[in-house]
Amino acid sequence: MNPTIASSVREALLDRFLRYVQIDTESDPNSTTYPSTEKQFDLLRLLRDELIALGVPSVRLEEKGYVMAQIPATPGYEDRPALGLISHVDTSPDFTGRGVRPQIIEYYDGTPIPLGDDAMLTVQEFPELLEVLEHTLITTDGTTLLGADDKAGVAEIMETVRYILEHPELPHGRICIGFTPDEEIGKGVDYFDVEAFDADFAFTVDGSREGELEYENFNAASARVVATGRSIHPGSAKGKMINAIEVIYLLHASLPHYARPEFTEGYEGFYHLMHFTGGVEYAEAEYIIRDHDRTLFEEKKALMERVAGEINAAYKREVIKVEIRDSYYNMYEQVAPHEEYIERAKAAMLRAGVTPRISPIRGGTDGARLSYMGLPCPNLFTGGANFHGKYEYASLDTMCRSVETLVYLLTETAE
């Protein structure tokens, strides 16, 4: 790592991250407001104020909970592409983010890390910890999540801004900064104004392990399945009863058994039964459908609809309905024509001493939706891991390398 960048950001980055994670910003999937929780503004306002204090000339906090800022290009570099960095401030509702009390392990030597009375962070259960041996780790105390998803990314962007502004000798094109709410509940860019953000290309800083550069993600859809039955006393049900539970079971059993999350990895897609409720008279199920390949994705959706049609034909009436709604698509289709930015990100990592780790996202990001809104937006690593629960941790060393990567990504310095 460049010793100048390392010495300038390490302590400030740690302090900033610790301050941010102690602000409760949990989002709420059941809310009808936007953002979904008012408390997200506690961090959003702080970020706005800190950006202004750093000397960023153009900063605004929008009513819908977006902080947007721009740093003008260095004179003579106005013709360079405008690059954006985006992170989200909310934490997952899967586990509480209130009262976060981080533990700091100054030198991780591989021994188990206690997380309260009933949990341990161990190499045996989480072998990726071997990648952060000798690092400084920040963990939970076992009672909350940590919030590295994505306050690690937020802190890294803020430190990158501070470093660049304090080093005017580093020339750069226009830099666009965005902080968003409600990413964890799938609504992070519902009101994001791509035109106002005004970047040619952007990166979400919302990944995990060191070196991650992700520009492929699932095509995604949700499916709501409703079965309507006919309840008859079981003693006289022959030829009369239609059991809605059995109807949905017929559909579920007709889907490929091994095309499920617990049997798939890498580029393999799946059907995932998320929720089921009901009885003989009425039953309802919710699925998500995922595949990286657009053709296979469409085939998966078509299979559910075809099976439903076959079931209805067998019963000689409509006993089952399948409603499928697309959620987002693989960003690769939008990013691929801009290979120069991917190469630029790889080069920045290598300069920071980071080995690029190109991998598909088995999920989605705000970047996937933004890519189809006209802003190609791959994802970069943050150094956090085990998100959304008590086993979450972050490597300060990797966080510092993230900042260095971002500095090299945004600036025009020669090697």
Instruction: Say yes or no: domain 219-328 is CATH 3.30.70.360.
Output: yes
Neighbour-count burial for 339-364, b at 16+ CB within 10 Å, e otherwise: eebbebbbebbebbebebeebbbbeb
* pLDDT the model gives residue 66: 98
Which residues have a Cβ under 8 Å from the Cβ of 124 and sit 6 or more positions away? none
User: Tell me: the pLDDT tens digits for 193-246?
Assistant: 999 999 999 999 999 999 999 999 999 999 999 999 999 999 999 999 999 999
Average pLDDT estimate for 319-328: 96
User: Tell me: the pLDDT tens digits for 337-361?
Assistant: 999 999 999 999 999 999 999 988 8
pLDDT band per the 50, 70, 90 thresholds, residue 2: low
Q: How far is CA 415 from CA 336, 350, 351, in A?
A: 26, 11, 8
Residue pair 378/98 in contact by the 8 Å Cβ criterion:
no
**Helix, strand, coil percentages, rounded to 5, for the chain:** 35, 25, 40
User: Tell me: the pLDDT tens digits for 72-93?
Assistant: 999 999 999 999 999 999 999 9
* pLDDT the model gives residue 245: 98
Residue pair 175/71 in contact by the 8 Å Cβ criterion:
yes
* pLDDT the model gives residue 3: 62
Paired with 67 in beta bridges are 61, 179
Read off the pTM: 0.89
Tokens of 340: 């120069």
Q: What is the mean pLDDT of the chain?
A: 95
Residue 287 has pLDDT above 90, yes or no: yes
Average pLDDT estimate for 296-307: 98
Q: How far from chain centre, in Å, is Cα 169?
A: 34
List the catalytic residues.
90, 183
Which residues have a Cβ under 8 Å from the Cβ of 287 and sit 6 or more positions away? 222, 223, 225, 271, 272, 273, 274, 304
Domain boundaries, the chain: 3-216+330-410, 219-328
**Of the options 2.60.120.200, 3.40.50.720, 3.40.50.1000, 3.40.630.10, the CATH number for the domain spanning 3-216+330-410:** 3.40.630.10
Residue 166 has pLDDT above 60, yes or no: yes
Distance (Å, whole) CA 23 – CA 90: 10
* pLDDT the model gives residue 261: 95
Residue 94 has pLDDT above 80, yes or no: yes
Average pLDDT estimate for 249-264: 97
User: Tell me: the pLDDT tens digits for 16-66?
Assistant: 999 999 999 999 999 999 999 999 999 999 999 999 999 999 999 999 999
* pLDDT the model gives residue 415: 47
Omega cis (within 30) before 49: no
Q: Which one-letter amino acid corresponds to residue 84?
A: G
